[in-house]
Amino acid sequence: MEFCDDCGSMMKTDGDHWVCGSCGAEKLRDSAKEAQMVTTQGQQKSEIVDVSDAEDKGLPTTKVHCPKCENDRAYWYMQQIRSADESETRFFVCTECEHKWREDDH
């Protein structure tokens, strides 16, 4: 993905040039630079986080209500589960029953 130096809009390819759809600015494509770009198809799925033995791995805990067993402590961690321009999701794992839920679960 390339952005226009003049107006900041996203540019599109047109042959051997990048062309801005907003202001019409053009610049030559750089194949070496483009080879380093990561497309959404090239992004890998997020890793699975093993939270067994979470205490031994140093995961932080917080005071939060477990919806399964009513415990008030859980380990938590952040994980990117959507595209890079979306915020991370916080996951909780109960310190008692190891029930796992996301921050936005009800």
83-105: per-residue pLDDT in tens?
A: 777 788 889 999 999 899 988 75
Q: Is 69 annotated as a binding residue?
A: yes
Shared domain for 29 and 62, answered yes or no, is no
For residues 50 and 80, membership in a common domain is answered with: yes
In which residue are the tokens 């190891």 written?
98
Is residue 66 marked as binding? yes
Q: Is residue 27 annotated as involved in ligand binding?
A: no
Residue 94 labeled ligand binder: yes
pLDDT digits (tens, 9 = 90+) for 65-89: 999 998 999 999 888 877 777 788 8
Tell me whether residue 18 is annotated as binding: no
43 assigned ligand-binding residue:
no
Domain assignment of residue 17, given as a range: 2-35
State pLDDT tens for residues 19-61: 988 898 998 888 887 777 666 555 555 556 665 555 555 788 8
- Which CATH number goes with the domain that contains 50? 2.20.25.10
Same domain membership, residue 101 and residue 56: yes
One domain for residues 78 and 58: yes
In a shared domain, residues 9 and 46:
no
**pLDDT value at position 106?**
44
Q: Which of 16, 41, 40 is nearest to 28 (CA)?
A: 16
pLDDT at 99: 92
First to last CA, the chain: 37
My answer on whether 96 and 56 are in the same domain is: yes
Write down the pLDDT at residue 39.
Answer: 62
In order, the DSSP letters of 19-68 are EETTT--EEE--HHHHHT---TTTSPPPPPP--TTTTTTT--EEE---TT
